[in-house]
Amino acid sequence: MQPPTNSIRRKALELGFYKCGFAKAETLEEEKVIFQDYLSQKRNAGMHYLERTPEKRLDPRLVMPEVQSVIAVIMNYFPAAVIPGQDNFILAKYAYGKDYHTVLMEKMKVLGEYLKAELGASHVRGFVDSAPLLEKRWAQRCGLGWIGKNTLLINKAAGSFFVIGVLLTDLILDPDMPEKDHCGSCDKCLKACPTGALVEPHKLDPERCIAYHTLENKADLPETLRDRFNDRIYGCDICQDACPFNAFAKPNSEPEFFVNPELYKMHKSDWISLTEKSFKELFSETPVGHVGYARLMRNIHFATEKK
């Protein structure tokens, strides 16, 4: 009889996930010191939600008491064609298509039902940025990649343009081997960052990070960084674009992640004159919709005005 992990992997691939892996549900002891250091140095900046229930982020049994195994899945969002940057503002590639939270959760719900109907699971819960879990750490534990010097999950065969989902289940599943670090002596991501946000390998200062400011920061954007945003108005991708492993990135085949054709027609003047009505039409079901019209326009004006 084949182990249930084989059938779960097959089902995950059927659903469009790039890869699926497994880990025993236990305390992330190795990560405890790293996370506590992260919080003590206030490297979460304005992301105060990371300070709430930190113990849950380190032990999935505090999120779901019945859990025996953690299942991590990753899904490719790399586009077939990058939106032209000439006379344009730039969005992070994960924002090109439909909101990945919705896409992943729909697929994970199907995978969860499979665990119950076919493998006898009594308890399954799926999360996409919706629970106090360290998703990247669990993805590494499940053998899907390692956390690179740019603090993102990197898969050796396909790069880093992936979104992560985590399922907790009461099934006892054979764990995979955690992935090892393959960054070696490479420091291209650190050198590429225009704001110096990667202050050292594996250490990100969000107060200097373009992605943090355009996505999370609800206050005024820092004048000291005004000339370094390089026309980015939602997210960044610079450290990912610099990563050699992304030379292996392949276009995704998920229709929900395909680019809205209207975005290919946009120029700076179109962004600057964007109305709230047009914003809703373009972005209501995308990640950009989460920041709202006012904050996106704040980002656009910040990128437009020079010191």
Give this prediction's pTM: 0.93
pLDDT of residue 131: 85
Q: Which residues of 131-146 are buried (b: 16+ CB within 10 A; e: fewer)?
A: bbbbbbbbbbbbbbbb
Q: At what angle do helices 292-304 and 276-283 cross, to 10 degrees?
A: 110
pLDDT of residue 57: 82
CA–CA–CA angle 99, 103, 105 (5° rounding): 115
- The tens place of each residue's pLDDT in the chain, 307 residues long, gives 557 999 999 999 999 999 999 999 999 888 777 777 766 776 666 666 666 777 888 899 999 999 999 999 999 999 999 999 999 999 999 999 999 999 999 999 999 999 999 999 999 999 999 888 999 999 999 999 999 999 999 999 999 999 999 999 999 999 999 999 999 999 999 999 999 999 999 999 999 999 999 999 999 999 999 999 999 999 999 999 999 999 999 999 999 999 999 999 999 999 999 999 999 999 999 999 999 999 999 999 999 987 5
Cα 125 to Cα 108, 133, 148, 220: the distances in Å are 9, 12, 28, 37
241 is catalytic: no
| Rounded Cα–Cα distance for residues 98 and 2 (Å) | 36
Q: Which of 129, 187, 205, 241 is catalytic?
A: 129
**DSSP class per residue in the chain:** ---HHHHHHHHHHHTT-SEEEEEE----HHHHHHHHHHHHTTTTTT-GGGGSSHHHHH-GGGT-TT--EEEEEEEE---SSPPP-TTS-EE-GGGSSS-HHHHHHHHHHHHHHHHHHHH--S-EEEESS-SS--HHHHHHHTTS-EE-TTSSEEBTTTBS-EEEEEEEESS--PPPPPPPP--TT--HHHHH-TT--EEETTEE-GGG-HHHHHHT--SPPPGGGGGGSTTEEE---HHHHT-GGGGG------GGGSPPHHHHT--HHHHHT--HHHHHHHHTTSGGGGTHHHHHHHHHHHHHS--
pLDDT of residue 49: 65
